[in-house]
Amino acid sequence: MSNSDNAPALPISETAEKAQSYLVLARKYRPQTLDDLIGQDILVRTLRNAFAMDRIAQAYMLTGVRGVGKTTTARILARALNYERDALPDRPTLDIAELGVHCQAIMDSRHVDVLEMDAASNTGIDDIREIIEAVRYKPASARYRVFIIDEVHMLSKSAFNGLLKTLEEPPPHVKFIFATTEIRKVPVTILSRCQRFDLRRVEPELLSAHFARILEKEGYAADESALALIARAAEGSVRDGLSLLDQALTMAEGRLTAAAVLDMLGLSGRAAIFDLLERIFDGDAAGALAALGALNERGADPSLILSDAADAVHALSRLKVLPGAYPPDLSAEDSARADRLAASLPVPRLALAWQMLLKGIDEAARAPRPFAAAEMLIIRMCYTAQLPSPADVIGELKRGGGERAPIRDSASGAPSPSAGLEAVRPRAVSSRGSAGGQGVASAHEETAPRFGCFEDIVAEAAATRDIKLKIALEEQVELVKFGPGFLELRLLEGAPQSLAPDLAKKLQGWTGERWIVSLSEERGIAPLGARLRDEKAQAKEEIRRHPAVKSILHHFPDAEITDVRKLD
């Protein structure tokens, strides 16, 4: 018989009491004073000055994302307004390190003069009428009657209207404290009657240090990288971070490690993400898909993989501008690898990867099969990694656009159908006739136009007398991107909505090749017509300053310069 069999059984009530005695970290380490708040220095300094100068507002509006301390700050303010202790002056104070007469009851939400209301479940005018009625009565035992309304944006329109007059001119013994995560849904008439404080997201470094202090009190050990991962996942919310830390401690076997946190969160390590990015930027589609599949098999969510890849691209881009500015959760080995990657990649390629990943994250979130959407994004990124950069295109155009080796498809190794700088003009293919035996070249292949720039496309529209298309391209679009086989345009006011598909058909008919014409919300270069008019105006101004033209205009003051042409 084991020792456990001989041990006396605990009474059921005692067992239940022990089970219920555990408090989650978010409640156990909830701040009790303003000094305990982290990352809210402006709020703390402003309130301290206000209390010291006895300039206490009649109503406060606390706003910010979840878990940054809005309700906690409201309770601290309620304690400070009603703080009483022997041998202290009878006035509000924020020096509340020791418990006062009313403190414990306020912290337990059971004080008769401090009323907390959840507006999410008490949204109507009847609930506000109860507050308006209660405002008339003086506090039973405390200095002020304090009304704390959480999620105040959930109140109905009639409830807000009912609160207006009381909020503007409350009795001197009444204070209001509101908290909300949706400040834009609060009417301006309410905001104008309150002092507003925006509680900020807490920086990851502050969160990591806060978690380290809590773990020291709890008797746990943890790697700095593990705490940094939890802080990054918390997204600035202290409560979210403490909930994740609570969960992670149940997985820790003596020490909380980064590997355990990665497994818990379903995240991918930086090293694995850098492996994926290296294959993408090398154009190795097969290797990139294998790396993506390995991460997915480890349990990482496809959307989170793409999000981690976007974070890594952002970190590499920052390193290009700010050398040595490493993310806090990056190890020494990963930092060295990030330096090597950042040095080998130009900013335009990183910027393009960032834009594609942002769109891909949204696609994966909405797709019926997120992993398939992630794979398609990786394939697109590998393909675009082989395309020439805009600087290369411009440089080749300036050099006269010589022959360019075809770009190989990253998956099959075959030449890409639309690769290269040229929207390639098909060469004449001769075939021997059965009667005459002479080579006959296709008329379409001989005359297929070659577009090296956007202006060539506009010129072709003019040459084919497609005046409607010419005007649309000159006056109603901004060019965002131009490359071999693709165009990206931003439509201006008055542009036909069918311009993109119509232009794609025209380009295919002119060149014999498939073109991709996409629309963008990004600003591009000014419309071609406006640029041509500016150039003409500048040319007129330059020719006007010529001595010979000055003499002519002097003798013929009514003369006008209508056009300037360059003679070959």
Q: Which helix (H) or strand (E) holds 210?
A: helix 204-218
Q: Which helix (H) or strand (E) holds 265?
A: helix 258-265
Three-state SS at 255:
strand
- C-alpha 370/C-alpha 364 separation (Å) is 5
Residue appearing with tokens 């639309």: 418
Domains 40-198 and 270-384 share a fold: no
Residue 469: which residues within 8 A CB-CB, separation 6 or more?
A: 461, 502, 503, 506
Query: Would you say residue 149 has pLDDT above 90?
Result: yes
User: pLDDT-derived band of residue 428, with 50, 70 and 90 as boundaries?
Assistant: very low
Give burial (CB, 10 Å; 0-12/13-18/19+) of 53.
Answer: exposed
Instruction: Tell me the CATH number for domain 40-198.
Output: 3.40.50.300
**pLDDT 10s digits, 155-178:** 999 999 999 989 989 999 999 999
Beta carbons of 275 and 309 less than 8 angstroms apart: no
User: pLDDT-derived band of residue 329, with 50, 70 and 90 as boundaries?
Assistant: low
**pLDDT 10s digits, 392-407:** 666 666 665 544 444 4
- C-alpha 276/C-alpha 309 separation (Å) is 8
Here the tokens at position 96 are 């509340």
Here the tokens at position 535 are 């150039």
Beta carbons of 176 and 62 less than 8 angstroms apart: no
Neighbours of 563 (CB within 10 A): 7
**pLDDT 10s digits, 55-79:** 999 999 999 999 999 999 999 999 9
Residue 526: which residues within 8 A CB-CB, separation 6 or more?
A: 478, 534
The CA-based angle 545-549-550, given to 5 degrees, is: 65
- C-alpha 173/C-alpha 142 separation (Å) is 10
Of the listed ranges 70-79, 82-91, 263-272, 290-299, the least confidently predicted one is 263-272
Here the tokens at position 171 are 């009795």
Three-state SS at 471:
helix
What backbone phi and psi angles, to 5 degrees, belong to 525?
-75, 160
Mean pLDDT of the chain: 81
Can you tell me the mean pLDDT for 15-44?
81
**Predicted TM-score of the model (pTM):** 0.59
Domain regions of the chain by residue span: 40-198, 270-384
Q: Which residues sit opposite 479 in a β-bridge?
A: 489, 525
- Give the domain 270-384 fold: Zinc Finger, Delta Prime; domain 3 (1.20.272)
Neighbours of 5 (CB within 10 A): 6
The CA-based angle 311-315-320, given to 5 degrees, is: 150
